[in-house]
Chain A
């Protein structure tokens, strides 16, 4: 083995917590060229490159890192883009700690951190944006076959880009006025600046992909029309319908679903109200229910809107919470409070129907359930009240029925998600493929992209007549 690499990742500059809680600018500031090259040196260029097997889209990780080390950034861009159509997004929001970086050999050395693959990915993508003016890639000959993609989240965008690169005519249908799915309506600006999403979408459009916004499929365009007019269909509509705990007081003013709260903030820019017209409640005392990324995003957004106190309540403990560690630490640094083993049981309101508090109960962890996680059990008579004028429920989403109700003949599983073959994305309906959260339930950006990528490959095979599971 070569020289032992430095134990720690090159630190990435961040906005100081005291400063950043007053703005929506990006928290992490990225590597300089010198820092990136230094970090790239930590990679051992392992021949068996375990990191790649941890990546849902199989990026040639040592390949692009080597180019960074050699100061050949443009070549790093090319390698990265070959695998990943949204690298600036993934470099920022992928859970690298459980994927590529979890497998990195350097991280296995006692006391050592893995190579900062995510930060390097982000660096390359951002470098391209500044330094490469013409990122046109040559498209193959138009194959005169049309594919409809429903939904413009990471699954749909990836499928669209890959299909366009194969020479198909691709139309993407999006219900909202802006493409990007959760990337534009859910994940906040301070974690993923919208200019970056816009940039990557501009790239996908440059591949001749047409994106039709304001077009909710099922109503604005019917499923029959799509089946008639297109040679194949990819469904990537996400899982976006909010779950509610359905406890008393859910419809009080001040009780939000995370989807509504974050959509107001991100897509509609309510944090710039009244410069932008969409309002949001700027709560003084905010309670966020949940323990995932969505809860972290809601809590940190509430702080930035000017809350004096933000408390996340989660029914299990710190160990079980599904949020990315990095974002949890960011939230702690910024002063978000956490109450573990706590569950809301009632929202209290005044006579005008406005929220004034949350009645909670304390939980304890019982025996592990089928998933291996210890089940939270309420402790009798342990209830207490937290004063609050805003609550955000971030307890997950269900499959949205909007499209599925209109899609006759498509098999749906018992949780309401589309049944699709894991390898190919093929559904039970001829020429229809699906992927992303609407197949798996709420998951990650990169998994949705992986599904979009696989489906694009198999849609290509289907259109070439080399694959047909519906015979």
Chain B
């Protein structure tokens, strides 16, 4: 369990692809699961999705949004992460469904990849929509091209695919194919709108992968609680995937802003130490 960074690749501005040496996790991880990482002695515990597994290592794709993820993205091949616990969370419930819609946004595209691969292994037909701010942010395109039966790209500025948002892509898919089940992974606000859209379009179930603030990832702290179908659920042990049509999105969005002030302080201090970060 060395947790060594074997390989690091830049996928997009502030988005990095890591291969981490850890046999135990490589051996056990299933699509939909995540790890909790602590990069150093004074670090916080942050959850990150397992994007793929190899013989002795696993893959994770990280978007730098604050102190810890920036620091992680600045680490080099050969360095070690001090702690990785996992795999955690329930694996995605995958079966043969026929036509499945998959919607990925931003770094959520990485979370979607292992789910897509597994769905393909079960011979499903994949209708994939990938969205990004502009063409630079649509990651892992080739990997999806090789996998899916239909691929729609949407960008806010139209620099790639259609100009629009992923929910426009959902409309397009539904024009030609009747879909009963979908997965949406991306920013919380995107998943919210995908869920609303899915309901409108009559999609029976849309799985979303929630990313509330977590600490232990084993059901011990209750920080990750979300309201689903009116009931309190812990995303780390009851999820992370839930039926998007039943999630209380507004509450989740508010809870995600819980530490905004502290995050700014911590990131500000970090920037003072390391200087300009725009190159990342």
Q: List chain A positions with a Cβ less than 8 A from chain B.
A: 175-177, 185, 213-216, 219-222, 240-242, 244, 246, 250-251, 253, 257, 259-260, 263-264, 268-269, 273-281, 352-353, 400-402
Contacts and interface: CB of A to CB of B under 8 A. Distances in A.
Contacts of B82: 177
Interface in B37-69: 38, 42-45, 67-68
B78 to A, nearest CB: 21
Contact of B259 (A240, A250, A275, A279): A279
A268 B237 contact: no
Contacts of A219: 28, 33, 86-88
A444 B86 CA distance: 29
A257 to B, nearest CB: 4
Nearest to B42: A276
A274 B42 CA distance: 10
Number of contact residues on B: which range applies? 35 or more
B45 A401 contact: no
B199 interface: no
A240 B262 CA distance: 27
Interface stretch (B12-20, B103-111, B200-208, B216-224): B216-224
Contacts of B1: 214
B266 A220 contact: no
Contacts of A241: 219-220, 222
Contact of B222 (A176, A214, A242): A242
Nearest to A273: B262
Contacts of A400: 218-220
B221 A260 contact: yes
7 A-B pairs with least C-beta separation: A353-B254, A279-B262, A214-B85, A257-B222, A260-B221, A177-B83, A277-B44
Contacts of B216: 175-176, 263
Contact of B38 (A177, A185, A263): A177
B44 to A, nearest CB: 4
Given A219-B28, A220-B87, A251-B225, A277 B43 contact: yes
Given A251-B225, A274-B269, A263 B220 contact: yes
B113 interface: no
A215 B86 CA distance: 7
Contacts of B45: 177, 268, 278
Nearest to B268: A274
A282 to B, nearest CB: 9
B3 to A, nearest CB: 9
B84 A246 contact: no
Interface string B182-217: 000000000000000000000000000000000111
B119 to A, nearest CB: 22
Nearest to A349: B254
A264 B214 CA distance: 11
Contacts of B223: 257, 260
A22 to B, nearest CB: 20
Given A263-B216, A402-B219, A402-B237, A274 B266 contact: yes
B214 to A, nearest CB: 10
A278 B251 CA distance: 22
B222 A353 contact: no
Contacts of A278: 44-45, 215
